[in-house]
């Protein structure tokens, strides 16, 4: 079947095989680039006019035509219900249909290779900003969740074994930090996305005197690509973007995992609201953390996209190869998945209730203050290694008595070290255990309060 709408019919005498055409066509997904491609085309049109390639009248006709297409697509839902090779062919076809032969002049001095790279970057630029905004909103929810439960304490874990108590706010701020780094990464990626490849043409550069820097300014790009071969075949920006998203998703997945564990009957630290839970079709008593499990699960597909992009690029000779058309769906799906996951995570945070009693109890059971006792001995002049060993023995003894350290008699502790005095019980209290972690980054309430204030300030500054 001949595809009458393709842009390259001249040297062909036969039409493309129908199945191949379907395989080759990207319009069903790259139509998303419609708006971006039109914007870039308008800027290219201006570039052609200033280069003396188009007359003012021609360039005005083309630009007006392009704007008309934008408007039509806006109010006509069925506008895209058409078979086209890709979004670029679609737009050119519509333009020529609308304004006639002048429309055929638009593609002067460019190739779909620099065109697609330009539209893709323009499109992605907006979405990075959007994802960054959603990340910031999630950070805000973390701060709100922390403030709603200020004073709450939970056991901190390593190896999923109780270690030392930490403030709930400290936990919230740990994820806040991760998300701050994610936003930094997205900002950096944004800067590398924001470079104009248009003017690289097919691969060797354009033959027309188009002022590329002026076109870049016109489109809000910070600069132009420096090498045309690289300009058309670079997809680092897409890989980096998805890469930044893999880390972001990994963070959300860890957050989800923490909350899934905390929501179990075994832990019982939090309760998930009905709005974010599901039931079982069989067992009437069940309340499942599906929202959290999907947050955790969705990370996998973004990791997959990252791997797909790297694999797709690794064997490509310079410059453009059609393999690169595969970049779109990976990036589109990443944007969709990450945006939705961020929004759902925010909703989850708004729908959990803390069982602070249970958390506090867990933070005081299981010898979470053993290090405190060792530190107490150190303060009394015992070398840390010896103190560590002594406390180990005291813990063993306490386990045999089924008591916590602070439930032992003074004499019982003194059997292991005569350095211990009555002030040991204060040292072993939850309050003291927390308060002693009073260096930058520690979980002492004073420090955490400071960190919270800094986090709020940073978020505030960036919101304004
Ligand atoms: N749809 C193509 C893509 O996304 C546009 C570029 C086509 N270029 C070409 N030389 N066939 O990569």
What is the pLDDT at residue 312?
Answer: 98
Q: Give the residue whose CA is nearest to atom 11 of ligand 1.
A: 322
Provide the 3-class DSSP secondary structure of residue 116. helix
Residue entry with tokens 């980054």 = 441
Fold that domain 112-362 belongs to in CATH: Fumarase C; Chain A, domain 2 (1.20.200)
Which among 118, 325, 328 is the best mutation to test ligand 1's pocket, defined by most ligand atoms within 8 Å of the CB?
Answer: 325
What is the pLDDT at residue 11?
Answer: 82
Strand partners, 353: 271
Mean pLDDT computed over 145-165: 97
Token duo for residue 279: 């039931």
What is the pLDDT at residue 462?
Answer: 66
Residues of the chain with CATH 1.20.200.10: 112-362
Residue 124 burial (CB count, 10 A): 23
Residues of the chain with CATH 1.10.40.30: 365-463
Q: Is 193 in the pocket of ligand 1 (CB under 6 A)?
A: no
The answer to whether residues 253 and 296 touch, using CB atoms and an 8 Å cutoff, is yes
Q: Is 322 in the pocket of ligand 1 (CB under 6 A)?
A: yes
Q: Give the residue whose CA is nearest to atom 2 of ligand 1.
A: 325
Provide the 3-class DSSP secondary structure of residue 410. helix
For 86-132, the pLDDT digits (tens) are 999 999 999 999 999 999 999 999 999 999 999 999 999 999 999 99
Q: How far is the CA of 219 from the centre of ligand 1 (A)?
A: 21
State which CATH number among 3.40.920.10, 1.10.40.30, 3.90.228.20, 2.60.120.260 fits the domain covering 365-463.
Answer: 1.10.40.30
Element (H, E) at 35: helix 34-50
Q: Is 89 in the pocket of ligand 1 (CB under 6 A)?
A: no
Residues of the chain with CATH 1.10.275.10: 9-105
Q: Is 116 in the pocket of ligand 1 (CB under 6 A)?
A: yes
Q: How far is CA 329 from CA 18, 26, 41, 460, in A?
A: 22, 10, 22, 35
280 assigned to active site? yes
Query: Using omega within 30 degrees of 0 as the cis cutoff, is the peptide bond preceding 319 cis?
Result: yes
Angle between helical axes of 445-463 and 168-193 (0-180°, round to 10): 30
State how beta strands 161-167 and 195-196 pair: unpaired
Q: How far is the CA of 158 from the centre of ligand 1 (A)?
A: 50
Provide the 3-class DSSP secondary structure of residue 110. coil
Q: Is 324 in the pocket of ligand 1 (CB under 6 A)?
A: yes
Q: Is 86 in the pocket of ligand 1 (CB under 6 A)?
A: yes
For 220-258, the pLDDT digits (tens) are 999 999 999 999 999 999 999 999 999 999 999 999 999
Question: Which one from 159, 207, 281, 400 is the annotated catalytic residue?
Answer: 159
State which CATH number among 1.10.275.10, 1.10.1200.10, 3.30.70.3270, 1.10.3720.10 fits the domain covering 9-105.
Answer: 1.10.275.10
More reliable by pLDDT, 96 or 13 = 96
pTM score, whole prediction: 0.94
Mean pLDDT computed over 379-401: 97
Please name the residues in contact with 107: beta carbons below 8 A apart, sequence gap of 6 or more: 7, 92
- Nearest atom, ligand 1, residue 328 CA: 4
Report the mean per-residue pLDDT for the chain: 95
Q: How far is the CA of 321 from the centre of ligand 1 (A)?
A: 8
Q: Is 113 in the pocket of ligand 1 (CB under 6 A)?
A: yes
Q: How far is the CA of 116 from the centre of ligand 1 (A)?
A: 7
Q: Is 26 in the pocket of ligand 1 (CB under 6 A)?
A: yes
Q: How far is the CA of 351 from the centre of ligand 1 (A)?
A: 45
Token duo for residue 369: 């203050």
Token duo for residue 140: 């805000």
Question: Which one from 97, 150, 280, 307 is the annotated catalytic residue?
Answer: 280
pLDDT bracket for residue 1 (50, 70, 90): very low
Q: Is 33 in the pocket of ligand 1 (CB under 6 A)?
A: no
The answer to whether residues 344 and 291 touch, using CB atoms and an 8 Å cutoff, is yes
The answer to whether residues 110 and 215 touch, using CB atoms and an 8 Å cutoff, is no
Q: How far is the CA of 26 from the centre of ligand 1 (A)?
A: 9
For 426-452, the pLDDT digits (tens) are 999 999 999 999 999 999 999 999 999
């Amino acid at each position: 079947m001949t595809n009458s709408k393709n842009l390259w019919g001249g040297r062909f005498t036969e039409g493309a095989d129908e199945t191949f055409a379907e395989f080759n066509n990207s319009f069903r997904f790259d139509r998303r680039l419609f708006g971006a491609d039109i914007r870039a085309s308008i800027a290219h049109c201006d570039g052609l006019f200033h280069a003396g390639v188009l007359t003012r009248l021609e360039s005005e006709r083309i630009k007006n035509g392009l704007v008309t297409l934008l408007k039509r697509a806006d109010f006509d839902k069925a506008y895209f219900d058409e078979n086209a090779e890709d979004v670029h062919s679609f737009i050119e076809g519509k333009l020529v249909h609308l304004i006639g032969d002048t429309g055929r002049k638009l593609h002067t001095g460019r190739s779909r290779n620099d065109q697609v790279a330009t539209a893709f970057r323009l499109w992605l630029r907006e979405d990075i900003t959007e994802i960054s905004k959603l990340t910031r909103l999630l950070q805000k929810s973390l701060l709100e969740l922390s403030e709603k439960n200020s004073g709450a304490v939970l056991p901190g874990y390593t190896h999923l074994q109780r270690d030392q108590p930490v403030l709930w706010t400290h936990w919230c701020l740990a994820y806040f930090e991760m998300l701050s780094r994610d936003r930094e990464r997205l900002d950096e990626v944004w800067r590398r996305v924001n470079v104009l490849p248009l003017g690289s043409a097919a691969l060797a550069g354009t033959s027309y005197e188009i002022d590329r820097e002026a076109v870049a300014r016109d489109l809000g790009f910070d600069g132009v690509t420096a090498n045309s071969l690289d300009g058309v075949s670079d997809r680092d920006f897409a890989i980096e973007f998805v890469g930044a998203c893999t880390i972001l998703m990994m963070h959300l997945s860890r957050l989800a995992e923490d909350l899934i564990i905390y929501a179990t009957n075994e832990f019982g630290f939090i309760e998930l609201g009905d709005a974010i839970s599901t039931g079982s079709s069989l067992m009437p008593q069940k309340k499942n953390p599906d929202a959290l499990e999907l947050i955790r699960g969705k990370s996998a597909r973004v990791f997959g996209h990252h791997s797909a992009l790297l694999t797709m690029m690794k064997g490509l000779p310079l410059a453009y190869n059609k393999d690169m058309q595969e970049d779109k769906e990976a990036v589109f799906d990443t944007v969709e998945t990450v945006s939705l996951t961020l929004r759902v995570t925010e909703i989850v945070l708004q729908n959990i209730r803390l069982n602070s009693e249970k958390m506090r109890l867990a933070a005081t059971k299981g010898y979470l203050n053993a290090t405190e006792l060792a530190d107490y001995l150190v303060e009394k002049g015992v070398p840390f290694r010896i103190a560590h060993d002594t406390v180990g023995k005291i813990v063993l003894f306490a386990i045999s008595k089924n008591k916590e350290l602070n439930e032992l008699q003074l004499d019982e502790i003194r059997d292991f070290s005569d350095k211990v005095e009555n002030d040991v019980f204060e040292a072993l209290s939850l309050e003291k255990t927390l308060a002693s972690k009073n260096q930058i980054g520690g979980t002492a309430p004073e420090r955490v309060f400071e960190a919270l204030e800094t986090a709020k300030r940073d978020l505030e500054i960036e919101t304004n």
